[in-house]
Structure 1
Amino acid sequence: MKRINKKDIRSVISWCKKNKVEVYKDCSGKFVIEAEFELAFNRPIINSYKQKYGENWVQIYELAKENKLYLASENNERISTERRYKPKSKASSNFLNEFK
C-alpha cells in the first residue's frame, strides 16, 4: 500500500484492477504476486525508456533499478548518435560537415 501511496485496501484493489494486477485471496488474506506488481508499477517508466532509448531500453532500465544511471552517460553518447539525423543528399551532408 505504501508503494502506490494508498491507505485503504479498497483503493489498492482498485489500483490493481486498473493496472491489470491479479489480487489473490487465501486464508491469510489478500495478496498479489510481486513480479506482477513490479511490472505494473514500472510500466510507465519502461514505456518511456522504450521510446527514448529504443533497443537499448533494457540496459538503461537495469541501471536505473540499481541506481546507477550515471553510468548510462558513457553509453548514452553511443545511443544518442544512433538516433541522430542522417542526411539524404550529398548537399545536406556537405552542409552538416561544415559544422563538425
Structure 2
Amino acid sequence: MIVTTTPSVDGYRVSGYYGIVFGEVITGIDFIKDIGASLRNFVGGRSKGYEDELITARNEAIAELQQRASEMGAHAVVGVDIDYEVLGQGGMLMVTASGTAVTLEPLA
C-alpha cells in the first residue's frame, strides 16, 4: 500500500475516496530508558532508547493506518500527517498517523 504525505501519487489518479483514516499508538517508556535519557539530558547527546521507542511507535502507527485503510478497500493513503505527544508526566508517548484513504488508477 502506498502511504505518502503528498495529496497525490505520481503516475496515478485518485478514483475513490474512503475518508480519513487513523493509526494510533500509546506506549510507555520503561524505567531503564528513562534513567538513560535523564543521564543524556545531563551530559548531552542523543538518547538511543527514546529514539528506538519513537521509531517503533511511528512504524506501528503507520502499519495500523495501512491496516485500517485496507479494511476500507483503499489502495493508498494520501496526505499523511504524523503527530507526537507526551502524555502525563512524560512516561507515555502517543504517536498518531492520519491521512485520506483512497483508491488509485494508473494514468494512461
**What's the TM-score, normalizing by structure 1?**
0.30
Larger RCO: 1 or 2 (CA < 8 Å, sep 6+) = 2
Q: In terms of Rg, which structure is larger?
A: 1
**What's the TM-score, normalizing by structure 2?**
0.29
Higher helix fraction (1 or 2): 1
Higher strand fraction (1 or 2): 2
